[in-house]
Structure 1
């Protein structure tokens, strides 16, 4: 590009950014100029759509909704990364250039999917994907100590003197 008057691609992006900024500033200035300024209590209050809450608006929200949403986002983002990989590396021209290229991309994707599967197995083993979790079971131990021995131990009174000597 010997012509000095011709803008580069970065110059075009900069020009679009400047024009966009000027347009936003112009519309804000025009709105300030035209709109009447008559503040009131209702106009200055925070706008929230929806119904007025009866009582407190703070309610208990099940945290499992967040966990399920995060697991969904994790695997949804995985698909966002796998789709371009499959379209780019599925081209026969790339694989024809060098056989090692195909092996590299395959190992790369198996590593990516493997890390995500480890995360899924971890969440699954912790029981975080179960909506209704079973109650923890208390272990039962069968011992040959009679209940009267426990009662006798609980009824004993121990006197502690100062200095820790009995």
Structure 2
């Protein structure tokens, strides 16, 4: 247990030191804002250079990522089927699929999946 805590502290210290060093030695500075602004043939830009996107698209992308991760969690269930009894394997798989189906049903009722609202 002490080895695990020590490894965690060492990793935390090492990552903190590297983060501070990279911030100090970075060539990027916030002093020159003119270089980071968009350039339009010497004129000031009329519009913002960033195009806004639909928040509905963002929500559907997040839901896709969540269900994609859930499927990747479900895939190893076939590998461990030999080491578990069939009843416990069906119980674990069925419970997980029921939770995923319940989440999908909630998203459908909440109309998060409909593109046009």
1:21 aligned to 7, 16, 36, which one? 16
Other structure's SS at 2:12 match: helix
Structure with more helix by fraction:
2
Provide closer, same or farther for how the CA distance between residues 51 and 107 of structure 1 changes in structure 2, counting only shifts above 3 A: same
Task: Show structure 2 runs of 5+ residues with no match.
Answer: none
Residues 1:129 and 2:87 are matched in the alignment:
no
Aligned pair count? 110
Provide closer, same or farther for how the CA distance between residues 13 and 99 of structure 1 changes in structure 2, counting only shifts above 3 A: same
Following superposition, the deviation at residue 72 of structure 1 comes to: 2.2
Provide closer, same or farther for how the CA distance between residues 13 and 45 of structure 1 changes in structure 2, counting only shifts above 3 A: same
Describe how 1:38-53 pairs up with structure 2 within 5 A. Answer: 44-46=31-33, 48-52=36-40
TM-score by length of 1: 0.46
Assess if the C-alpha contact under 8 Å between 1:94 and 1:101 holds in 2: no
Describe how 1:6-155 pairs up with structure 2 within 5 A. Answer: 8-25=3-20, 31=25, 44-46=31-33, 48-52=36-40, 54-57=45-48, 61=52, 65-87=54-76, 89-90=77-78, 91-96=80-85, 99-120=87-108, 122-123=110-111, 128-130=114-116
